[in-house]
Amino acid sequence: MIKKQYLNSITFLQIYSFLTTAIYGCFFFIHYLNRNLSPFYLPLCFIIVWQALFILFSLFPRNIIKTLCMFLLIGNAIALYFMYAYHIPVDKIMIMNALQTDQAEASEIININLIATIILLGILPVIWIGLKTAIHPCSFQRTFKSIILSLSIILTCCILAPSQTSKLMHHFKYLQIYLPPINYLLSGGQIIIEKLTPQPPLQRLTDDIKKTTISGKPNLIVFIVGETTRAANFSLNGYHRPTNKALTPYLKDIIYYPDTGACGTSTAISVPCIFSVYNQKQFQSGSEQYTENVLDIFKKAGYKVRWFDNDGGCKNVCNRVLYEEPCKNKTCSDNILLNNLKNTIQKSKKNQLIILHTRGSHGPSYHLRYEKEDDLYAPICTIDDIWNCTPEELVNVYDNTVHYVSRFIAKTIDILKSLEKEYNTSLIYTSDHGESLKEDGLFLHSAPMETAPKYQTEVPLLIWLPQNNLYHLNKQCLKNKASKNKYSHDNIFHSLLGLGNIKSSYYQRELDIFAECKR
């Protein structure tokens, strides 16, 4: 017979809160507080966080405390794994990304290390608590007195060390995303509230849009939305390896923008933001569900708008236009988007806007993102727990993905060149965000924008226009401006309208990268 340890709920929650702070809070304390501070700072902050967690847990119904804490142990183990393995926060954006991850992507991050972490820090403690402890709920009066005592301890710390406490408050926003279970409970709660909140009526951007007239050849604009490809590894951006070698035959017709910023560090934010009327500072996650975007404007203007996807969906951007996902098993290379593209285009003689949403350089399984022809740099990282790879292996395998991306762009240009007699062709490419490859100990992406490294926020942006383009654009003018000015995803909405010759009250000429170079 198993002998149980009998504890009252107050003692249990104090122990549980202490261990939660010590085990799961160490990432926060090490990375955001230990910066040439007073030796009393960390102990003081530890006590404040410990007692604050105790107060939080004490607010839950007494009869479910044990069960709740057992569930939280599993969640804490999962959150801690991702924070330590990839050095990324568990915030609202990360949880949104997780909810939108398809089966193929999910299989890449489930590995033996994740399972071991869940077992050691989640399942085994849950079994021990379930079998070895018996919790007796304390009375409301006693629980209330213990909460008052904890508040008094926190207040005393604030009075004795006001400057140290203010520093903790300054770092509070990091505490919210780096301390389980606060991070995923708070972020998950925000998502649930958003889902339960009734959406406002569709915000229309198309009321004043008139259909464009076709004089001569119809316009054909292909916009490639890349995934996780950073500007730092583009040879067009000055990188020492020829990762963009496949684009060499087309360089005279390519305008590259070397200083381009992303709208976010995750697909869930950047993809809707790219097509949104709102700029990076104005854009709010979720607004894409009830706000028309540039695709709706093109559709109202008479363009045939199609979205071809190979990266887990359009994030509500394409809800009102034609959508096709040619890969049925979720493991196809991006080339599948090009298999029938030419025939599909030729079925229509209307103006057309084609979106190709690619998987690009998506990690952690970088080695699955390219073909044998792109296996140029070795040794490479071939495992999903990429923190066990050397920086050289990570960079090599990532550069191979960039080489594949370049070949994909080149193949798309070839298709467009073959259609020049029928359509007035053009191509735009940008990536949704960048990627960290162990620089400063960071992996993947999704870092908060205010602290994200440039590797996650600086993205490639290029435009291809045929030699005799009918958009009346001076390519040398475009190249000169591209080399001197800063750009961002904020320019995409207005530049697409300018390229498509669409008049809209939402159009801002100063954000149109083509406006000053029209002949």
**3-class SS letters over 360-427:** CCCCCCHHHCCCHHHCCCCCCCCCCCHHHCCHHHHHHHHHHHHHHHHHHHHHHHHHHHHCCCCCEEEE
Domains detected in the chain: 5-196 (no CATH), 221-271+316-475 (3.40.720.10)
Determine the Cα–Cα distance for residues 415 and 409; give it in Å rounded to an integer.
Answer: 10
Determine the Cα–Cα distance for residues 139 and 143; give it in Å rounded to an integer.
Answer: 6
What pLDDT, on a 0 to 100 scale, did the predictor assign at position 212?
Answer: 82
* Alpha helix segments (H runs only) across 422-474: 454-457
Two structure tokens written together for 404: 């594949």
What pLDDT, on a 0 to 100 scale, did the predictor assign at position 265?
Answer: 94
Tens-level pLDDT at each residue, the chain (519 residues): 557 788 889 999 999 999 999 988 877 777 665 555 666 777 888 898 899 999 999 998 877 888 999 999 999 999 998 888 877 788 888 888 777 777 767 777 788 888 999 999 999 999 999 888 888 888 889 999 999 999 999 999 888 877 777 777 777 777 888 889 988 998 888 888 888 888 889 999 999 999 887 778 999 999 999 999 999 999 999 999 999 999 999 999 999 999 999 999 999 999 999 999 999 999 998 899 999 999 999 999 999 999 999 998 999 999 999 999 999 877 899 999 999 999 999 999 999 999 999 999 999 999 999 999 999 999 999 998 898 899 999 999 999 999 999 999 999 999 999 999 999 999 999 999 999 999 988 899 988 888 899 999 999 999 999 987 777 899 999 999 999 999 999 999 999 999 999 999 999 999 999 999 987
Determine the Cα–Cα distance for residues 481 and 472; give it in Å rounded to an integer.
Answer: 16
Determine the Cα–Cα distance for residues 248 and 237; give it in Å rounded to an integer.
Answer: 13
Instruction: Region of 315 please: left (phi>0), alpha (psi -120 to 50) or beta.
Output: left
Report the predicted TM-score, pTM, of the whole model to 2 decimal places: 0.87
What pLDDT, on a 0 to 100 scale, did the predictor assign at position 38?
Answer: 64
What pLDDT, on a 0 to 100 scale, did the predictor assign at position 299?
Answer: 97
Q: What is the residue-wise DSSP string for 47-65? A: HHHHHHHHHHHHTS-GGGH
What pLDDT, on a 0 to 100 scale, did the predictor assign at position 2?
Answer: 59
Collect all residues with Cβ–Cβ distance below 8 Å to 171 and sequence separation of at least 6. Answer: 28, 32, 33
- 323 strand-pairing partners: 307
Do residues 98 and 75 lie in contact, with contact meaning Cβ atoms separated by under 8 Å?
no
Q: In this structure, are strands 461-464 and 424-431 parallel, antiparallel, or unpaired?
A: antiparallel
